[in-house]
Structure 1
């Protein structure tokens, strides 16, 4: 293999979805090189990235250990990595019933948490004008999503099969964002205490800590260069 790392990960220094892929690569001990695309310059929508991912979004992975196999959409990447590189199911569901439950939560994360949290972030921080009704709508939906999770986590420690899996991992980056200022006036420890405890358990994992240290380093370097 001519590449120094097994995977190339096209991502963004701040975008939560790219960090999901990094988290699982780290958990599985797989080597990867991150290419941080500059969204302000539109690098995600130009070559070479758009030649790999016609949707022009992050993340995209290239698996150099599997004939340069290319895959995009973050939760599809999680499933691929788990199925190919976690044969003992240490981080994924093993029974048929749990596999469907795992899919249920991955779909909920992708169709519920990601879009609502993302739209809240857009209208709060990036939209050219303030639209209070949009911020109120998406803040309410973000709280609702966390409420769904809190209700489930009141009954069990993990979402699927009584163990930490990619279903849990998929929620980490956006939940961190939601717990640290995305939702106006929201105190996750008070309003979703079971989510808060679940998140803290995940953030304490060595592989997760390593990725967040990498993220802090990248962002600090970016800030100092400005």
Structure 2
């Protein structure tokens, strides 16, 4: 018998990278964590791309299921929810609603916020200032926040009263509005949702793994971490 936990997670301290750790910490599932170092381009290494051909984080291996590999953060959350029967409603309609809001994050909030962050915190810091792109992605992110705010009126979480994988996926991205310079002023229901999840100790503990990067949320030494973040992703900036 092996003492290794079933779940082996390869991740880093990013909004997508924290999604599985939030689930695993909240569900109290034992797991092994391997920190993928972007500065060394470990996510592009041959051994890693054999697991995840897209060369991104996170990636998960379920040793308890014939070493089944899952990549893409939303797919990992769905897999874990099904495996452990946790943070996913059993009612078919509520389950589908959870999937809808998970896809809303994957297809909307994540990409739009990610681009807003990229053009301001990485490209601009490498001398590539694109004001049109910044305005485009910041404005679209704000629009998506307004959708969330309207939906959350009268609700505790995205699917009613139940904390689900949809919340886990959306929270680290939306909560990092500071890093994307997207205003949440005038969005009281969204802000109340932030406050509720801010108070979940296990979710907050997950944000410290593999290491804390509180600058995303406007906390700590923002200037130093902004410089570090720009440096580790500088190879992604294509200069003419």
TM-score, structure 2 normalization: 0.82
Partner residue of 1:210?
205
Root-mean-square deviation (CA), in Å? 2.2
Instruction: Please give the alpha-carbon distance, in whole angstroms, between the structure 1 residues aligned to 2:141 and 2:165.
Output: 21
DSSP 3-state at the match of 1:139 = helix
In the alignment, is the contact (CA less than 8 A) between 1:16 and 1:173 conserved in 2? yes
Partner residue of 1:181?
179
Partner residue of 1:56?
55
Structure 1 residue 150 corresponds to structure 2 residue 149? yes
Deviations 1:128-159 (A, max 9, x none): 40100000000001111111000001132222
Runs of 4+ in 1 over 4 A off after TM superposition: 215-220
Q: Give the CA deviation at 1:202.
A: 1.2
Instruction: Please give the alpha-carbon distance, in whole angstroms, between the structure 1 residues aligned to 2:202 and 2:144.
Output: 26
Instruction: Please give the alpha-carbon distance, in whole angstroms, between the structure 2 residues aligned to 1:11 and 1:3.
Output: 21
Partner residue of 1:32?
31
Structure 1 residue 9 corresponds to structure 2 residue 5? no
DSSP 3-state at the match of 2:50 = helix
DSSP 3-state at the match of 2:159 = coil
Instruction: Please give the alpha-carbon distance, in whole angstroms, between the structure 1 residues aligned to 2:207 and 2:51.
Output: 26
Greater relative contact order: 1 or 2 (C-alpha under 8 angstroms, separation 6 or more)? 2
Alignment of 1:1-226 (within 5 A): 1-2=1-2, 4-13=4-13, 15-86=14-85, 89=86, 91-127=87-123, 128=126, 129-178=128-177, 180-183=178-181, 186=183, 188=184, 190-214=185-209, 217=212
Instruction: Please give the alpha-carbon distance, in whole angstroms, between the structure 1 residues aligned to 2:46 and 2:2.
Output: 22
Instruction: Please give the alpha-carbon distance, in whole angstroms, between the structure 2 residues aligned to 1:28 and 1:65.
Output: 17
Q: Give the CA deviation at 1:92.
A: 1.1
Name the CA shift for 1:64/1:218 in 2 (closer, same or farther; >3 Å).
farther
Name the CA shift for 1:9/1:175 in 2 (closer, same or farther; >3 Å).
same
In the alignment, is the contact (CA less than 8 A) between 1:101 and 1:160 conserved in 2? yes
In the alignment, is the contact (CA less than 8 A) between 2:12 and 2:210 conserved in 1? no
Q: Give the CA deviation at 1:38.
A: 1.9
In the alignment, is the contact (CA less than 8 A) between 2:10 and 2:34 conserved in 1? yes
Instruction: Provide structure 2 residue ranges, at least 5 long, that are not aligned to the other structure.
Output: 215-219, 229-240
Deviations 1:78-133 (A, max 9, x none): 111011112xx4x1121111111111101100000010010111101112401000
Q: How many residues align?
A: 215
Q: Give the CA deviation at 1:206.
A: 2.3
